[in-house]
């Protein structure tokens, strides 16, 4: 992907360096400066995954309980801290709670040769 550290190709938005998100960690982003994180990124078994910050159990419900806190303490599940729904970090599948069987909405992401993380805007 042709880009520079400071810029993003059309249709993509830079979030951060990919190595700023460690294993079993999550981080929220508000690329449109909407006042609330629109998406979050988790690293699970080495791979990064980006999800919309919107729990399927209530339309648009934000999920973290504190800034960047989207996971359980063990870092093994994404948790919606509105009503306790739990999701697999890699597939976004809800495995426990009010929307079991439903999925989080994925957002395409890419890491460039310099290690910069971008998502589809």
Partner 1 sequence: MKIVGLESLVFGVDDIGGAARFLVDYGLTPVELSDRGGRFEAMDGTAVVIARQDDPALPPGPVPGCRLRKTVMGVADEATLGAIAAELRRDREVRRLPDGSIESIDDAGFVLGFQLTARRPFVLAGEISNAPGGVVFRPVNSLGVPPPGSVIRPRSLSHVVYFVPDVVKAEAFYVNRLGFRCTDRFTGTGPFLQPGGSLDHHTHFLIGAPPHMHGVEHFTFHFGGPSEMITNGYRFVEKGYQAFWGPGRHILGSNWFWYFNSPFGCHIEMDADMDQHDASWRPREATASADNSQTFLLKMRKKWYPGPGIPENGDYA
Contacts with partner 1 by CB under 8 A lie at 61-67, 69, 72-74, 79-84, 86, 96-98, 100
Least distance from partner 1 to the Cβ atom of residue 100, Å: 6
Least distance from partner 1 to the Cβ atom of residue 65, Å: 4
Nearest to 28 by CA among 57, 84, 69: 69
Instruction: Say how far apart CA 60 and CA 80 lie, in whole Å.
Output: 11
Least distance from partner 1 to the Cβ atom of residue 50, Å: 18
Cβ closer to partner 1: 4 or 96?
A: 96
Tokens at residue 54, please?
Answer: 């919107």
């Amino acid at each position: 992907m042709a880009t520079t550290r400071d810029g993003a190709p059309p249709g993509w938005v830079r979030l951060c360096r990919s190595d700023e998100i460690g294993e079993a960690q999550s981080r929220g982003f508000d690329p449109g400066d909407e006042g609330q994180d629109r998406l979050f990124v988790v690293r699970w078994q080495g791979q990064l995954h980006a999800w919309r910050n919107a729990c399927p159990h209530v339309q648009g419900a934000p999920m973290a309980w504190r800034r960047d806190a989207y996971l359980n303490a063990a870092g093994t599940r994404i948790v919606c801290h509105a009503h306790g729904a739990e999701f697999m970090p890699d597939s976004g599948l809800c495995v426990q709670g009010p929307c079991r069987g439903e999925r989080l909405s994925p957002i395409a992401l890419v890491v460039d040769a310099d290690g910069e993380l971008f998502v589809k805007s």
